[in-house]
Structure 1
């Protein structure tokens, strides 16, 4: 997976938007204004993804490319190094998980708006 594929997949999620709220190299993906993924456009490709606390620990134990979330709440965020050690499909599943966790926490009104997109 490269940065274009990562970006395209994140933006394919209903209601997903992108912006640069922190600096000119940190690309952030949000749904209804809530962050579900972020990546830095400089250096080796990695992506920060939201995760349940239990799954976050499990993934870190199972995959050397999964680290505690860089500059994030390490209980709820992982940094995934996109280094070829896990499949693109697996990364897409982790993006789906992150997106789903954020959508679950949206208000019923926002969830309803999202379902119409």
Structure 2
């Protein structure tokens, strides 16, 4: 999976849209006004779990392809390498979980229709 395929997948989530607040080469993907995926040429940043302990499971399973994100890693965010040891289906599941974790914290009125199906 490359970054363009990952971007297309992220944007297929209900209510998802690209934003580029920092002028990077690749956008972040948001739902409502919250980021659920940080795209980069060789990785995707996702909320790896509700807690750092849960997110650390990625680091244990894929020590060469998963890392704690700078600045926000303490909140459970990880970088996952694209085209590495992590299978594509697990990368997509990680994006889905990040999306679910972010949307679940939104006020109900801001959650997109179909987000939980």
- Tell me if both proteins adopt one fold, taking TM over 0.5 as the criterion: yes
* In structure 1, distance between residues paired with 2:114 and 2:84: 36
Alignment of 1:76-95 (within 5 A): 76-95=76-95
Alignment of 1:38-49 (within 5 A): 38-41=38-41, 45-49=42-46
Between 1 and 2, higher relative CO (CA 8 Å, sep ≥ 6) is seen in 2
Per-residue CA deviation, residues 46-94 of structure 1 (Å, 9 max, x unaligned), is 1110122232111111112111013423332001111330111100000
RMSD: 1.7
* In structure 2, distance between residues paired with 1:3 and 1:13: 16
Alignment of 1:44-63 (within 5 A): 45-52=42-49, 53=51, 54-63=53-62
TM-score, structure 2 as length reference: 0.86
Q: Structure 1 residues 74 and 81 mapped into 2: Cα distance closer, same or farther (>3 Å)? A: farther
1:12 aligns with 2:12: yes
Per-residue CA deviation, residues 11-63 of structure 1 (Å, 9 max, x unaligned), is 0000000011012324100001100001224xxx1111012223211111111
TM-score, structure 1 as length reference: 0.86
For these two proteins, the number of residue pairs brought into alignment is: 112
Indicate if the aligned counterparts of 1:25 and 1:40 stay in contact, CA closer than 8 A: yes
Partner of 1:33: 33
Q: Secondary structure at the match of 2:22?
A: coil
Which 5+ residue runs of structure 1 have no aligned equivalent?
A: none
Which 5+ residue runs of structure 2 have no aligned equivalent?
A: none
